Amino acid sequence: MKNILKKELSLSASILSYLFIAFGAMFFIPGYPILCGVFFVTLGIFQSFQNAREANDIVFSALLPVAKRDVVKGKFLFSCFIELCSIVLMAIATILRMTALKDAAAYRNNAMMNANLFALGMALVIFGLFNLIFIGGFFKTAYKFGKPFVAHIIVTFAMIGICEALHHIPGLSALNAFGFENFALQLSLLIFGIVSYTALTLLSYLRACRNFERIDL
Give 171: exposed, middle or buried? Use CB within 10 Å, 0-12, 13-18, 19+: exposed
Q: How far is Cα of residue 128 from the mean position of the Cα atoms in its chain?
A: 6
Rounded-to-integer distance, Cα 192 and Cα 85, Å: 19
* Residue, of 2 and 7, whose pLDDT is higher: 7
Rounded-to-integer distance, Cα 30 and Cα 160, Å: 15
Give rounded-to-5 percent helix, strand, coil for the chain: 75, 0, 25
Q: How far is Cα of residue 194 from the mean position of the Cα atoms in its chain?
A: 12
First to last CA, the chain: 21
> At residue 185, does pLDDT exceed 90?
yes
Give the global pTM.
0.95
**What are the tens digits of pLDDT across the range 153-182?**
999 999 999 999 999 999 999 999 988 999
> At residue 32, does pLDDT exceed 80?
yes
**What are the tens digits of pLDDT across the range 61-72?**
777 788 889 999
Q: How far is Cα of residue 107 from the mean position of the Cα atoms in its chain?
A: 24
**What are the tens digits of pLDDT across the range 108-150?**
888 899 999 999 999 999 999 999 999 999 999 988 889 999 9
Rounded-to-integer distance, Cα 115 and Cα 107, Å: 9
Rounded-to-integer distance, Cα 131 and Cα 200, Å: 7
Q: What percent of the chain has pLDDT over 90?
A: 76
Average pLDDT over residues 89-111: 92
**What are the tens digits of pLDDT across the range 135-144?**
999 999 988 8
Which among 26, 155, 1, 149 has a CA at the least distance from the CA of 78? 1
Q: What percent of the chain has pLDDT over 70?
A: 99
Which among 199, 200, 205, 204 has a CA at the least distance from the CA of 69? 205
123 phi and psi, to 5 degrees?
-60, -40
* Domain locations along the chain: 2-214
**How many H-runs (helices) and E-runs (strands) does the chain carry?**
10, 0
Q: How far is Cα of residue 120 from the mean position of the Cα atoms in its chain?
A: 11
**What are the tens digits of pLDDT across the range 186-195?**
999 999 999 9
